[in-house]
Structure 1
Amino acid sequence: MKKLVCILSGLVLWSAGQIRAEETEKNDAKENTFSMNIQIRPRAEYRNGVLFPRYKGEEATGFINNRARLTMNYERDNLSVGLSAQHVGVWGQDPQIDKNGRFILNEAWAQLDFGHGLFAKLGRQSLIYDDERILGGLDWNVAGRYHDALKLGYQDAGNQLHLILSFNQNDEKTIGGTYYAPGGQPYKTMQTLWYQHKFSQDFRASFLFMNLGIEPENPEEKKADTKYMQTLGTNLYYLPGNWTFGGTFYYQFGKTVTNRDVSAFMWAVNAACQIDPKWKIGIGSDYLSGDGDNSEGTYKAFDPLYGTHHKFYGAMDYFYASKFIGKNMNPGLWDNQLSIAYKPSKKVNLSLAYHYFSITSDIEVRPGEEASRGLGSELDFQVDWEIMKDVKLSAGYSTMLAGETMEVVKGGSKSSWQDWGWLSLNINPRVFMTKW
């Protein structure tokens, strides 16, 4: 990994020297481009068993959350700068006379282009790769997901190569130790290498390797004891005619924060067919290995890390967007899906998805009695309507029909009705301006 960093860094510096003369000649032709996005996105939710199944007698709840985001981008020859500030929260949580100043920068990055396809991007940025199973933007969440990182890259017509480097601390240090307290970024260090090759307009393949360093919580000793886990895998995408095929495989190894050896994997396959301009059908299967009741020996539960889990494992977010109950329990997941989408007009789209969930490891429902692996079924319905330019209204309704094993791994009562509904308005205009 160190050699690769040196090679890429050397190439970046070499290219910078090569283009200095070219930059002098181009000064008269430089353009300054400024763009700005404004997003107001309120979303009302009715919750009656989302994230976790509800128990008998528990009442439903409701709220309206909101994202107010201002994004600005500036570009000129060989330089791009992006800033995004947002205020997120729930209607009513702030006082009418508010002095807390929770309007924060969720993105703040600069990208230097050195010519010949080489660039460096540093600062707070979203990391969105492939189908977002490992690294995703998590746009469904009112806050989104961002990383503080340096990205070195190369790109041409058929290839993309990125090296992402990150080193995090919870505060400025004065003496000793590198204890990484909770409340900040979830990892101490991260090095990720991603490569994608575009074989044709219809087929592309990518490779990802991530080395993740996580420090156990130890506020008393405050000494470094970083454990490293590696994730290695590939993503394939094929688009012949009206069909779309996708395939993903990842393997994890290394150590957990409790110093157990890791050997875990996941795979996913999916296919979709655009029958005609109005109808589309899809099928898919995601398998993530689990660890069940095992508390010793090799840890076999796959961690999808910083992906957009809401996109894959059911809209009610029972899996990976929220935790399993029980100490260190992660029984894994097998999610088989069927979906259908109907577009009655250019501005309206309807979709319905069915999920059948199972665990992938053995657990006990009662002492001496193994649980069934079936968890239950989820139905997700969504409608999107483009009311006017830059304004979209979306609504959804989901229900979970849970079995007995769901009570063991997620809690709640299988005999209680579980459902969730939401209504969202996304107002997102863009301003674009170019000056000499």
Structure 2
Amino acid sequence: MIVRYHFDKALLLFLGWLLFPAISVFGQFTLEGEVRPRTELRHGYKTLPSSDDEAALFTEQRSRINLGYNKEDYDIGLTVQDVRIWGNQNQLNKSDGLFSIHEAWGQIHFSPIVSLKAGRQELVYDDQRILGSVGWTAQGRSHDALLLKISKKNWALHTGWAYNQDNNPPEPAKLFGSYYAGVQNYKTLQYTWFNHQSKAANISLLALNNGVQLPDSSTNFTQTVGVTGNYSLENINLSGSLYYQTGRDPANMEVEAWLASLNATYSGFEKLKLTVGGDYLSGSKVDDEKNRSFNPLYGTHHKFYGFMDYFYVGNGHSQSVGTNTNAAGLVDLYLKASMQFTDASSLLLHAHEFFAPVEIRNPIDLSSELNSRLGTEIDVVFSHAITDEVSFKAGYAQMFGTSSLSALKGGNQDEWASWAWLMISFNPVFFTTK
């Protein structure tokens, strides 16, 4: 058995010795991997528990292989992934539907400053408030899009286009029609992003047009425009965002919504960073005739509004009375601390205080109004790098909800709402050529 192992290893190295020089003649090739199992204990994650709810305990694993190929005039990127819950398949399992293509794109360089990227790809911009990769989730987020990029020195201009279509009827029988159904996605998307950087400042402008198809085959569009940026002083970094949304939503309501954020980070301590700030996302009242609920669209929301994902992470927080089912919005005031114990170990401690920017009606007595305070969330994350390619993280979070949060999310605010998790990440670089 040992002889066979050494023989297989020697054969692999010999084939690599033959193959790598050939690859390097034509371009740079990189092969990387990721294996990331995460065990979670949920009893109040995303929503308040009821008195008879039992905790959920499971392990979800993401496994990826990333291939990159770079030449002077074009690049290729391919990411395949498998996302599964431990135990979801039989031990004697031949196949399943858990394997997918996360990214598959090609990028051609017309000149040193102009390139065109086409295919399935992540769209990640600025702090990921509107467009992000959602890397915390096992599956992540990617788009089928065409992207034109122009960049030179301290500025960059990107403009992207996407037009989605389902496979019903499947090719080659799809001869007529373009109705998009059965997929939770936009029908069409266009955006333009401009970024300018200087020594102390970084500012970006974004204009995005999002089209969602209706049952009658028509498409309603919303437009999101805004600015985000940061400015660095000696030990203080200031950052903020301001976005406005207009247009018509899928329910054919007129949209008029805002997002504003501002925070300051102080890094003058030796091993401690402190951040204080707040986010405002407008919301809709029960009797609003317009949709005033800001939609942060395709951002990485887990990063902003508390790690327990009570808001804007695939779950609503609208009032259960009246006919208006749009989100009640959010005011999030937070204090964050980041402590670096050693080069390998760190601790995050976040405290969020949540409020509703609109009145919350009492679902039992519609004539009365509940307090605008929704609750307090505490998040703790410990990280340790075991090696350059292996890391460990552990987290715990607690939500102290109010009756107003219960009115929006359901569940019982008096129940213990907590979430704990353990995650280990393997990120090997199998090989790379120069």
3-state secondary structure, aligned to 1:109: strand
2:238 corresponds to 1:239? no
Q: CA RMSD in A?
A: 1.5
What amino acid is aligned across from residue 64 of structure 1 in structure 2? Answer: T
Shift of 1:382: 0.6
2:71 corresponds to 1:76? yes
User: Aligned partners of 1:39 and 1:433: how far apart in 2?
Assistant: 15
The corresponding residue for 2:205 is 207
The corresponding residue for 2:60 is 65
The corresponding residue for 2:317 is 324
Normalised TM-score (structure 1): 0.89
Deviations 1:78-133 (A, max 9, x none): 11000000000110011222222421111000000111400000000000001111
User: Aligned partners of 1:404 and 1:367: how far apart in 2?
Assistant: 14
User: Aligned partners of 1:175 and 1:75: how far apart in 2?
Assistant: 37
User: Aligned partners of 2:208 and 2:326: how far apart in 1?
Assistant: 24
Deviations 1:286-342 (A, max 9, x none): 0000003135x2211100001001000000000000222536131100000001121
The corresponding residue for 1:21 is none
| Change over 3 Å in CA distance of 1:114–1:324 after alignment to 2 | same
| Change over 3 Å in CA distance of 1:77–1:30 after alignment to 2 | farther
What amino acid is aligned across from residue 181 of structure 1 in structure 2? Answer: A
Map 1:239-278 → 2, pairs under 5 A: 239-278=232-271
Shift of 1:345: 0.7
Q: Contact 2:190–2:209 (CA<8 Å) still a contact in 1?
A: yes
3-state secondary structure, aligned to 1:388: coil
Q: Contact 1:137–1:146 (CA<8 Å) still a contact in 2?
A: yes
User: Aligned partners of 1:56 and 1:172: how far apart in 2?
Assistant: 44
The corresponding residue for 1:311 is 303
Deviations 1:388-429 (A, max 9, x none): 121110000000001110111011101101000000001101
Normalised TM-score (structure 2): 0.89
The corresponding residue for 1:153 is 149
Map 1:6-405 → 2, pairs under 5 A: 32-98=27-93, 99-171=95-167, 174=174, 176-183=176-183, 186-198=185-197, 200-216=198-214, 218=215, 223-294=216-287, 297-321=289-313, 322-324=315-317, 326=320, 328-365=325-362, 366-405=365-404
Return 5+ residue gaps in structure 2 as ranges.
1-23
Shift of 1:241: 2.1
Q: Contact 1:314–1:355 (CA<8 Å) still a contact in 2?
A: yes
What amino acid is aligned across from residue 247 of structure 2 in structure 1? Answer: G
Number of paired residues?
399
Structure 1 range deviating more: 239-248 or 130-139: 239-248
User: Aligned partners of 2:403 and 2:195: how far apart in 1?
Assistant: 43
Deviations 1:242-283 (A, max 9, x none): 221111000000001111111100000011111233111111
3-state secondary structure, aligned to 2:225: strand
Return 5+ residue gaps in structure 1 as ranges.
1-28
3-state secondary structure, aligned to 2:310: coil
Q: Contact 1:275–1:281 (CA<8 Å) still a contact in 2?
A: no
3-state secondary structure, aligned to 1:303: coil
User: Aligned partners of 2:175 and 2:31: how far apart in 1?
Assistant: 43
Stretches of 4+ aligned residues off by more than 4 angstroms: none
3-state secondary structure, aligned to 2:386: strand
3-state secondary structure, aligned to 2:205: strand
User: Aligned partners of 2:326 and 2:401: how far apart in 1?
Assistant: 19
